[in-house]
């Protein structure tokens, strides 16, 4: 009976149920806060996150784009308007411009509308875009320039956007005879494919430095820069070789996508919690740096581009990731290398992604976070957590919940093991003293399952404290029962065992049954107290 009593006292029978219920409740809580956890261990890992690598568009920003600037070979124009509403003015140096009198603006409108797969719809709550938000902004621009929805035509052929090439193209026959290729993409990529530029007097040799300087200036205003070009094409199909050179640059457009106000607060919370936020985007380096400054990133003076990453070996990249918070013009392959480099320093990395090619990086990261709105099915399958609102602030809320759940589980385990320790100490003391067994196995089972488990579950449901974000990330190698926890369990066990032993001795004067009753009642009530 002593052996059975010690065995029952040593095993916390309610622990599996407490852990499962606590984690399940944590998953439900996070789901209500727009973070769907696909794997339960992710909750525990969230408490140890030390680096969050986030995309910019839609996660740190609103993903409500609008064209604010136009640049042609003859000058710079400002565009007014609200969101995707296709109404606004085109001004140059404060004076309104008629797009119909400016050939470059007319061609910009045509490319913006035709080299496009999105659609705009007017609903009860204003205009909304069906498709990519950037392309929706280009459709709104085309309408402001006088190119309406009724003027759009289906392309004869097209090259969809690809992160490797960083452009898309469509083929059209506007006059019924000559086909024209319309192209839009990253400025530095399109400039490499252009041989001339379009001015009011016609085409002329390309002034590459002029365009690069203006692109840098627009990007430094926090705008995303996009280049639009075209080329006469004689065939009925188009491929990459057809537009690899000889394009005529029509102009640049600058799109604004303001930061989310809650993202600014969330970045500040991360910094106070010892979590480093790194922005990884496909945008221009100047745009990325400007947005980084707006959301409060600390190190915005240095930007590493995708070209820089490709030129680095693994050792150089591992060194660069420590003192760089902004990575621009990156591809999904670069994300995978960045995750590996950060993990080589022992960081627990959370990585966001939404594309098919992001799946390897999401798998490699300690916590892969997919976008629920813009994310592909492949990225969601590869991720361990999904954001239903594509909002960076939701990641921070999930980290807080993860830290809180881990702390609650640790406290629950402390509570359960302290009770078991007290039972072991009492049984051990009576056996060494030659006294009757203080507990029957059913007594200990009753305490473990009915007296200990419900309070332990209640402890697991404790709400997060205000100081959670002021604590540093937990070391992932730290044991759940660290030295402090073990000392706490032993001390609480002794404090519970002493009054239980005293009650048992007091009851022995009557009978062993009375002693067991008094010991059982004392331990059960002491646990609840």
**Residues designated catalytic:** 55
Neighbours of 156 (CB within 10 A): 15
Tokens 């494919």 locate to 193
> Do the beta carbons of residue 249 and residue 196 sit within 8 Å?
yes
| Dist. CA 500–CA 523, nearest whole Å | 6
| Dist. CA 327–CA 347, nearest whole Å | 18
| Dist. CA 165–CA 391, nearest whole Å | 28
SS3 label, residue 400: helix
- The dihedral region occupied by 407, where left means phi > 0, alpha psi between -120 and 50, and beta the remainder, is alpha
Bridge partners of 330, per DSSP, are none
| Dist. CA 251–CA 228, nearest whole Å | 6
Question: Quick one: how far is CA 54 from the chain centroid?
Answer: 5
| Dist. CA 349–CA 323, nearest whole Å | 16
| Dist. CA 501–CA 427, nearest whole Å | 9
C-alpha distances out from residue 352 to 374, 439, 446, Å:
12, 54, 47
Neighbours of 266 (CB within 10 A): 25
């Amino acid at each position: 009976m002593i052996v059975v009593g010690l065995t029952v006292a040593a095993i916390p029978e309610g622990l599996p149920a407490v852990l499962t219920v606590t984690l399940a409740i944590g998953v439900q809580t996070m789901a209500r806060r727009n973070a769907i956890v696909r794997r339960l261990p992710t909750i525990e890992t969230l408490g140890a996150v030390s680096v969050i690598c986030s995309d910019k568009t839609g996660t740190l920003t609103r993903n409500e784009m609008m064209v604010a600037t136009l640049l042609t070979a003859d000058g710079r124009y400002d565009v007014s308007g609200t969101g995707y509403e296709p109404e606004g003015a085109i001004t140059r140096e404060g004076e309104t411009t008629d797009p119909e009198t400016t050939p470059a603006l007319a061609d910009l409108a045509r490319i913006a509308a035709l080299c496009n797969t999105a659609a705009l719809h007017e609903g009860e709550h204003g205009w909304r875009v069906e498709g990519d938000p950037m392309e929706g902004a280009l459709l709104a621009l085309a309408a402001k320039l006088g190119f309406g929805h009724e003027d759009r035509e289906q392309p004869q052929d097209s090259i969809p956007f690809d992160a490797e090439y960083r452009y898309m193209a469509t083929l059209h026959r506007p006059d019924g005879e000559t086909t024209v290729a319309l192209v839009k993409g990253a400025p530095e990529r399109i400039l490499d494919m252009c041989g001339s530029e379009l001015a009011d007097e016609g085409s002329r040799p390309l002034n590459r430095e002029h365009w690069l300087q203006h692109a840098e200036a627009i990007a430094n205003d926090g705008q995303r820069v996009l280049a639009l070009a075209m080329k006469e094409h004689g065939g009925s199909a188009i491929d990459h070789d057809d537009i690899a050179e000889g394009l005529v640059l029509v102009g640049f457009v600058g799109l604004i996508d303001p930061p989310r106000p809650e993202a600014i607060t969330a970045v500040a919370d991360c910094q106070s919690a010892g979590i480093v936020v790194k922005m990884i985007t496909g945008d221009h380096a100047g745009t990325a740096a400007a947005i980084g400054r707006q959301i409060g990133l600390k190190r915005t003076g240095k930007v590493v581009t995708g070209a820089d990453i490709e030129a680095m070996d693994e050792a150089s990249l591992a060194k660069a990731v420590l003192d760089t918070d902004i990575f621009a013009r990156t591809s999904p392959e670069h994300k995978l290398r960045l995750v590996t480099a950060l993990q080589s320093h022992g960081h627990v990395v959370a990585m966001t992604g939404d594309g098919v090619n992001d799946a390897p990086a999401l798998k490699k990261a300690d916590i892969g976070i997919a976008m629920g709105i813009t994310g592909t099915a492949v990225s969601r399958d590869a991720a361990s957590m999904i954001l239903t609102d594509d909002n960076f602030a939701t990641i921070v809320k999930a980290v807080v919940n993860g830290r809180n759940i881990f702390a609650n589980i640790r406290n629950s385990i402390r509570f359960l093991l302290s009770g078991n320790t007290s039972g072991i100490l009492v049984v051990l003391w009576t056996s060494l003293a030659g006294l009757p067994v203080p507990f029957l196995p059913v007594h200990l089972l009753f305490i473990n399952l009915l007296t200990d488990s419900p309070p332990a579950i209640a402890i697991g449901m404790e709400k997060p404290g205000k100081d959670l974000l002021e604590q540093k990330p937990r070391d992932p190698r730290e044991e759940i029962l660290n030295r402090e926890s073990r000392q706490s369990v032993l001390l609480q066990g002794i404090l519970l065992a002493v009054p239980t032993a005293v009650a048992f001795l007091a009851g022995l004067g009557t009978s062993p049954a009375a002693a067991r009753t008094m010991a059982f009642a004392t331990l059960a009530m002491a646990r609840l107290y």
